[in-house]
Amino acid sequence: MQPVTVIITIAAYFGLLLIVGRMAARGVGGNAFFTGGRKAPWPVVAVAMAGAAISGVTFISVPGMVGAKGYAYLQMALGFVVGYAVIGFWLVPMFYRRNLVSIYGYLEQRFGSRTYSAGAWIFIISKMLGAAVRFFVVCAVVQLLVCDPMGISFEVNVAVTLALVWLYAARGGVKSIIWTDLLKSVAMIASVGLCILFIGRDLHLGGGDLIRAVSTHGSSRIFFFDNPMEAGYFWKQFVAGIFMAIATNGLDQDMMQRNLACTDWRASRNNMIVGGVIQLFVIALFLVLGTLLTIYVERTGMAMPSKPDELFGSVASNAAMPAIVGVLFVVGLVSAAYSAAGSALTSLTTSMTIDIIRADRLEARAALRCRRLVHVGMTIMMGIVIIAFYRISNDDAISAVYTLASYTYGPILGLFVFGLLCNHRVTDRAVPVVCVLAPCLSWCVQWSLARYCGYAVGFELLLINAALTAAGLAAVIERQPVARASVEPELTVEN
């Protein structure tokens, strides 16, 4: 694929993205930057949520992982659907009742200011690292297709790309993010579907033949019940998927800021459930594409890339492939990347501004100036982290993202579960220590099980981390329990 083609494609998509973002930004000010004015239609948010959960890492990594892991990821995606239902029926009503702008405000109400700060900082660190890994993968592809042939450094690549993202997200906040995520979802799903169609046509596979070729290929195995000791075992993946969805969606400011933009908790609940089903369909589509890409490599004699994450890009940019496939690949990739980065920057700005700096207590003009400075600062920091990741590539980036999430979201999951299920207060000043020790102990448990028991800890590492956090909180309980009414309003909600 010619660099000029890639540049024109990116420029055209970004132009459309900027128009949508600017139109959505009209009338946005004050807390509307963080909540979207709570007027977003839930069907729009549902489709946007499905796309929001699909990053550039998913676009690159999931099709490439089928050769080694089959469709094991779909087992986890089934758990996602259950996790979204839990969020919709349990967490969403509670967040709306408390009228939270940042969901970590719950931790201050429940435990105290130091727990609140600890939760916010954990989110900021985890989101910054996770978003940087996702965006790094995309920047690496752009570097390979455009920047290297033109002699442009990776640092310039990152700076220009993040500047473009900042342009459309800086004014509209959550409202811009929702509508650009909708654009992203449509563009990405269409690009994957059309890639499947064109690759199948290039292999002379009609509709029925394509389905048979994919379903009978060795990489299309979905369920793994053979060995509980392996990381891909069904129940480990399914249960981990439930709690991973709760942690990375229900307890993540980046994802929940969309849900809190709906008119009420009922609309938000509908959005969560429908969005979870759509996401399952999208992930299945990516896995089917991965099998088809593998079949293409096998039948054409093309060399299999050394890294799984390079499979989609290698086939799409192959000279023998129709040029439209390469264009669709770029459209899908940049649509996934730009929206995910813009969303991450908005949520990081929200958490830093509201949770850490407490700018909501400032005069309106000072609060606006603070929010803008923080947004610029978060953009610069993300660029620094992406460049740092450039020195540490990963063969299977999707696994790296979820492993990282298991370490960083575990304490947040433990804090919320303990707060919602236990009616005791804890020693507030001890909570940050617990949140640091739990991931360290989780690593020790993971290493010990592998070393002495031959047990491969998969994404259930998140549950181990959360359980250790809850155990640590139990160890620092204050003697006098508080009344349930002062901890958490009744969870049942009116019809």
pLDDT band at 288 (very low <50, low <70, confident <90, very high): very high
Residue 99: count other Cβ atoms within 10 Å of its Cβ.
10
- pLDDT score for 170: 57
- pLDDT score for 488: 47
Residue type, 259: N
- pLDDT score for 474: 93
Specify the DSSP class assigned to residue 144: I
- pLDDT score for 83: 92
Q: Are 374 and 198 in contact (CB under 8 A)?
A: no
292 exposure class (CB count in 10 Å sphere: 0-12, 13-18, 19+): buried
CA distances, 188 to each of 30, 249, 323 (Å): 32, 20, 17
What are 453-457's contacts with CB under 8 Å, separation 24+? 454/229, 455/229, 456/229, 456/230, 456/231, 457/231
Note the Cα 467 to chain centre separation in Å: 23
Query: Residue 446: in which H helix or E strand, if any?
Result: helix 431-448
When pLDDT is averaged across residues 286-304 and rounded to a whole number, the result is 88
- pLDDT score for 466: 92
Helix, strand, coil % in the chain, rounded to nearest 5: 75, 0, 20
Q: Are 382 and 341 in contact (CB under 8 A)?
A: yes
- pLDDT score for 27: 52
The tokens describing 107, both together, are: 């931790």
- pLDDT score for 238: 93
Phi, psi of 122 (to 5 degrees): -60, -45
Its pTM stands at 0.72
CA distance 436 to 449: 21
Q: Mean pLDDT lowest for which of 331-345, 408-422, 435-449, 457-471?
A: 331-345
Residue ranges of domains in the chain, CATH in brackets: 3-487 (1.20.1730.10)
Residue 401 has pLDDT above 70, yes or no: no
When pLDDT is averaged across residues 152-174 and rounded to a whole number, the result is 75
Closest by CA to 174, choosing from 412, 43, 10, 348, is 348
Contacts of 426 (CB under 8 A, 6+ apart): 111, 115, 418, 473, 476, 477, 478
Phi, psi of 221 (to 5 degrees): -65, 130
List pLDDT tens digits, range 255-266. 777 777 777 888
- pLDDT score for 218: 86
- pLDDT score for 33: 47
Residue 489 has pLDDT above 50, yes or no: no
When pLDDT is averaged across residues 133-149 and rounded to a whole number, the result is 78
What are 384-389's contacts with CB under 8 Å, separation 24+? 385/128, 385/129, 385/132, 386/132, 386/135, 386/136, 386/139, 386/158, 386/162, 387/154, 387/155, 387/158, 388/132, 389/132, 389/133, 389/136
